Structure 1
Amino acid sequence: MTQHHSKTAPESLLPVAGSIRNQGEPLRFEDVEQFIGISAKAAKPGEKATLWTKLALTSDDPFFHRVVDGLADVIYNMAQKAGVAVNLRRAGTVLLVLKPDNTADLWVDTAAVTIRCMVKRAVAMGSIICEHDIADITGMGFPCVEFGEKDKVLCIFREAWSFGFAFDMNPDGILDLESFTTTLGTLHRELRYRHLYQAIADEALFARLVSSGWFPFVEIITSEFKELLRYAEADFDLTDVEPTIVEKFDDTRLQHMLKRWVAKPHFAVKSDLLREAIEAFVSRRPVTVIKILLTEIEGILNDAHRATHCGQGAKVTGLLAFAKAAATQRAGGSNTLLLPEAFGRYLTENTFANFDPVKATGTAASRHAVGHGAAAQGSYTMSRALQVILTLDQLAFYT
């Protein structure tokens, strides 16, 4: 059926392929009193006051509610003075931009929003991105909003059942928009993946996962790890859920991972060995997988270390420190979804764990036990083989 329209949309409103735009215009307020900060503590008249000029909070912080309630009152007063209605309680994203000429722009769910991510696979422009494609979230911004270097910015946004809030009162006189974008991305990441950070912070829970050989690996952090975490939190036997996870790693998925590995020079020089390990996993030969990959992890780390340290190698302790530092530098912080600090602990307590040759405590999770032929035969399982694959994959994101 053909539809006929009597009017054509203005050219400025027509979508352009590959472009994005805001969903509407902001509310503009005049004669706005300049904000300089938010009081960090109470002060009596005549006393010195301590001000926050930059701050980032989530709604988990009790201070958040006091600050946001006060900000909402200020915005309502602005709107009332301008003769417009504003409902912030139903909003998903609120952006307030204060201009040096005492005007302000208020965007309430009308500004286009971008989330800056690290992805697990190569993507073309216009590709649909699913959550399982995301390796990390590093920024949140407003690409179609024009910011001036003298502007001040405040943003409140909803993520699931929680909120993030950040502001920059531009105390230096030059707005650091990149820093503000990173701050919002950090808040978004911490709220969206709160369960992961809580799992890492819970010593007993994290120890239970690590002792079983599991970790919030990048490849499973937005998918299979949720089920593992539920089992661990309930203190169920993780071996009950492991076969289901192993089955989800078919040849297609593993080939995608292999492609990711060999894109790195220090992985590419070992491509034949890595390919052999992947083929062995598909053929359900865990001994081959573990024997190949556990003994290659140290070599791959050393190659990456040499590439950034003028050809100089390092011992295991130095390599672990290098891995953590490389991940922190690449992701722009230590609290990203790459979890470099926690993974360093995992490598120490699992992959490079020592063993007692007298008491025969070695398992196929330990590179040292496997390398010395001290791992019990029964510990060479498909689950252990997958854990080794995921460990190597994690390092591909680090270096």
Structure 2
Amino acid sequence: MTESEHKKEKSDKLGILLGNAGKPIRLSGIQLDGISAEAGRAGESIKIWTRLCLTSDDRFFHRVAESLSSHIEFAARQSGHVINLKNAGYVLLVVHPDNTGELWVDAAAVALLIMPKRDMVAGSVLFNNDIADVTGMSFPRVDIDGKDRIVCIFREGWRFGLFFDANPNGQLGILEMQRDLGTLYRRLAHRELYDAIANQATFFRLLAAGWFPFVEILGTEFRALANSCEAGFDLDDEEAALLAKFDAGRLERMFKRWMAKPHFAGKELLLRSAINSFTSGDAVPVLKIVLTEIEGILNEAYRKIHGQSAKIKVLLAFAVSSAEAKAGRPDTLLFPTAFAEYLQQHTFANFDPSTSCGSAGSRHAVGHGHAAAETYTLVRALQALLTLDQLAFYS
């Protein structure tokens, strides 16, 4: 079965619940073989792009988008249709080998492939805060063949994404196209998260305070922390507000997620004790349990695959590679590379035992009894729980 046939079979299983909002505009005589990547005079050799993924933050986006949209609008006029693509939300052009094609302007059904934070059943309402990651975007009711050429320009908020594949070899990778469209959507919809990670000053302040864009707090909760760090404010108010949102029901959902993982399930009694201690407001046992059990949980996951245990340096690399393999990309909302830095700089941070002034955020300081008593706070306890929860998404 080809990728196209597999995709169509999968979409057909969705039945009448998923349909296009309109019909395509039929076009002919579409010449779409590449986009010039550099300037050149007549007769000179120049580089061309045959495949592109751009956001409106990229340098060449507007020039490429203007060129493509002008060509598409001209082809539409030649076919008897007057259109203006500048106000469209989603533009999808599918060009066949005979240079005919279908133009979908805000008319094609759009599907996102996501990793949810909670259990979902068909027909349930999904909120943005329920999304842990976006790994793909597709047009499930549009017939796209492996020999076709594709142009997709779409809007998300105040930004735009552009995907172009001239398919010079006649082997359009449909699954790869869906993955790349998902990457574009993810980077547009969650730009503030990527900006917070990329901004070294903001990320350093977050790390210093023990925070990270944990999956469980992605969205407005993390945004409040990041905005305060960017502004140089203290986090007391944001941390207090966040603590108040972690009631027994939310913690129970996290615990259920953990118990679904075999390498977590063996720690059920210990982790249940940590959850109960947090709900009762006692940070000390939470930190003593969670920070010392993280390594064991990682070891269980590693042993299941490799048949043997490993030291912490290898386990941290294993956690990151597992997240990349699960999400399919290193730059997803799981932020595996940045999380590796968080683990090294915070959770498994080195300390000088001769000073006896470690922090309760550090597994080494807690495990060796060198964490200062005043650092055993509920904020630190919540960060430890969220770190453990992040690893549940990774493995």
Q: TM range, normalised to the smaller chain?
A: over 0.9
Give, in whole Å, the separation in 2 of the partners of 1:157 and 1:364: 46
**Whose helix proportion is higher, 1 or 2?**
2
Residue 52 (structure 2) aligns with: 55
After TM superposition, the structure 1 stretch with the greater mean CA deviation from structure 2, 66-75 or 237-246, is 237-246
Residue 6 (structure 2) aligns with: none
| TM-score, length of structure 1 as denominator length | 0.94
Deviation at 1:168, TM superposition (A): 1.1
Deviation at 1:356, TM superposition (A): 1.1
Deviation at 1:172, TM superposition (A): 2.2
Give, in whole Å, the separation in 1 of the partners of 2:226 and 2:30: 49
Superimposed CA distance per residue, residues 31-76 of structure 1 (whole angstroms, 9 cap, x where no aligned partner) = 323x211111112222222111111000111201111111111112
1:318 to 302, 314, 318: 314
Residue 362 (structure 2) aligns with: 366
Give, in whole Å, the separation in 1 of the partners of 2:198 and 2:70: 36
Residue 39 (structure 1) aligns with: 36
| TM-score, length of structure 2 as denominator length | 0.95
Give, in whole Å, the separation in 1 of the partners of 2:154 and 2:15: 28
1:155 is aligned to 2:152: yes
Deviation at 1:392, TM superposition (A): 0.1
Query: RMSD between aligned alpha carbons?
Result: 1.1
1:305 is aligned to 2:302: yes
Give, in whole Å, the separation in 2 of the partners of 1:84 and 1:171: 28
Give, in whole Å, the separation in 2 of the partners of 1:274 and 1:223: 27
Say whether the 8 Å CA contact 2:201–2:230 is kept in structure 1.
no
Partner AA of 1:390 in structure 2: L
Say whether the 8 Å CA contact 1:18–1:126 is kept in structure 2.
no
Say whether the 8 Å CA contact 1:115–1:137 is kept in structure 2.
yes
Superimposed CA distance per residue, residues 266-322 of structure 1 (whole angstroms, 9 cap, x where no aligned partner) = 00011111111111100001001111101000000011111111x211111111111
* Identical amino acids, percent of aligned pairs: 54
Q: SS where residue 381 of structure 2 aligns?
A: helix
Partner AA of 1:127 in structure 2: S
1:354 is aligned to 2:353: no
1:202 to 185, 188, 199: 199
2:78 to 81, 84, 91: 81
Partner AA of 1:58 in structure 2: T
Residue 331 (structure 2) aligns with: 335
Partner AA of 2:100 in structure 1: T
Give, in whole Å, the separation in 2 of the partners of 1:78 and 1:365: 61
2:18 to 20, 32, 43: 20
Say whether the 8 Å CA contact 1:362–1:374 is kept in structure 2.
yes
Give, in whole Å, the separation in 2 of the partners of 1:280 and 1:223: 27
Q: SS where residue 368 of structure 1 aligns?
A: helix
After TM superposition, the structure 1 stretch with the greater mean CA deviation from structure 2, 40-49 or 316-325, is 40-49
Residue 106 (structure 1) aligns with: 103
Residue 5 (structure 2) aligns with: none
Residue 345 (structure 1) aligns with: 341
Give, in whole Å, the separation in 2 of the partners of 1:73 and 1:90: 14
Partner AA of 1:345 in structure 2: E
Aligned length: 382
Q: Give the gaps of 5 or more residues in structure 1.
A: 1-15
